[in-house]
């Protein structure tokens, strides 16, 4: 059975996350339903990142096996036809070697978190950013974030329900940039790692936001990390500001 990799984007709002769950809408169930229209024997779709309820994606990667070979362009068009009107789109597709695994072959994941400081509610970005009514100090957040980069025990920054065997992870980058316009400033947090713990990005962003707001001194982030205690974490940022933007593999399955 030929194996295919897909790159997907989706709006997280209507879905209880990536993972199929009985009786609840999920991205996986919708994609598998679309695949089944093309190939009744298509097995499960497997994703690089099992995004939570409400989390968006612009670069999720998924693999599945199909009974027959497809032209990628026709496969993209057919799947997008069957995915409508749901806010899920297949933006790329390629045949891959049979041992390619969207989750286990991945060597890097990239997340974006969007925080918008704005006096008035955003009309066009409602549901796409975490809106704050107070300004944030970019330099303070950048300084505090550096304590998190590297190989650490991230117990403080993972959900109590996290099922990972170990809280040890290597965070390769936390890049924070500010994008002002005449109504306010968008702060973009880009986090890069081989893999993340459950709620790790949202826990980190929610904590750094406290620093940006002036409620926490920057040094408290290093102390929270060293505490290895979930109770030392700041508030967890909401899911609707979070985007899985990319997944990297030893060989790019899409040839880019």
Nearest approach, Cβ of 121 to a copy of itself (angstroms)? Answer: 5
Q: Indicate whether 9 belongs to the interface with a copy of itself (CB under 8 A).
A: yes
Of the candidate residues 33, 67, 84, 168, the single one contacting a copy of itself (CB under 8 A)? 84
Angle between helices 27-38 and 72-83 (to 10 degrees): 120
- Helix or strand run (H / E) with residue 78: helix 72-83
| CB-based contact 247:102 (threshold 8 Å) | yes
- Map residue 123 onto helix, strand or coil: coil
Q: Which is nearer to a copy of itself, 6 or 100 (CB)?
A: 6
Beta strands in 43-183 (DSSP E): 46-47, 56-65, 88-96, 108-118, 130-132, 150-153, 168-181
214 touching a copy of itself, by CB under 8 A: no
- Residue 131 or 220: the one with the smaller Cβ distance to a copy of itself is 131
Q: Is 121 in the site for a copy of itself (CB under 8 A)?
A: yes
Of 27, 74, 22, the C-alpha closest to 47 is 27
| Interface with a copy of itself (CB under 8 A), residue from 19, 80, 185, 195 | 80
> Binding of a copy of itself at residue 119 (CB under 8 A)?
yes
At 110, phi and psi to the nearest 5?
-125, 125
**For a copy of itself, how many residues bind (rule: CB under 8 A)?**
24
Among 192, 108, 188, 187, which Cα is nearest to 150's? 192
Q: Which is nearer to a copy of itself, 58 or 195 (CB)?
A: 58
Q: Which is nearer to a copy of itself, 1 or 128 (CB)?
A: 128
List of residues contacting a copy of itself (CB under 8 A): 9-11, 56, 58, 76, 80, 84, 87-91, 119-124, 126, 128, 182-183, 256
């Amino acid at each position: 059975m030929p194996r295919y990799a897909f790159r997907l984007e989706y709006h997280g709002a209507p879905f209880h996350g990536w993972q199929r769950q009985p009786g609840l809408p999920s991205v996986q169930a919708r994609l598998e339903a679309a695949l089944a229209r093309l190939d009744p024997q298509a097995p499960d779709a497997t994703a690089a990142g099992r995004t939570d309820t409400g989390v968006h994606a612009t670069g999720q990667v998924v693999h599945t096996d199909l009974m027959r070979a497809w032209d990628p362009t026709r496969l993209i068009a057919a799947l997008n036809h069957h995915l409508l009107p749901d806010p899920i789109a297949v933006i790329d597709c390629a045949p891959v070697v049979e041992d390619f695994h969207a989750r286990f072959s991945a060597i890097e994941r990239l997340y974006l978190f969007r925080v918008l400081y704005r006096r008035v509610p955003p009309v066009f970005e409602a549901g796409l950013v975490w809106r704050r009514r107070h300004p944030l100090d970019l330099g303070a957040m950048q300084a505090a974030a550096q304590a998190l980069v590297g190989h650490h025990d991230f117990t403080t920054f993972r959900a109590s329900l996290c099922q990972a065997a170990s809280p040890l992870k290597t965070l390769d980058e936390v890049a924070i940039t500010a994008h002002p316009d005449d109504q306010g400033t968008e702060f973009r947090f880009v986090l890069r790692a081989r893999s993340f713990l459950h709620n790790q990005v949202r826990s980190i962003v929610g904590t750094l936001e406290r620093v940006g707001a002036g409620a926490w001194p920057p040094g408290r982030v290093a102390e929270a990390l060293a505490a290895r205690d979930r109770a030392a974490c700041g508030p967890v940022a909401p899911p609707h500001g979070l985007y899985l933007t990319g997944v990297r593999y030893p060989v790019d399955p899409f040839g880019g």
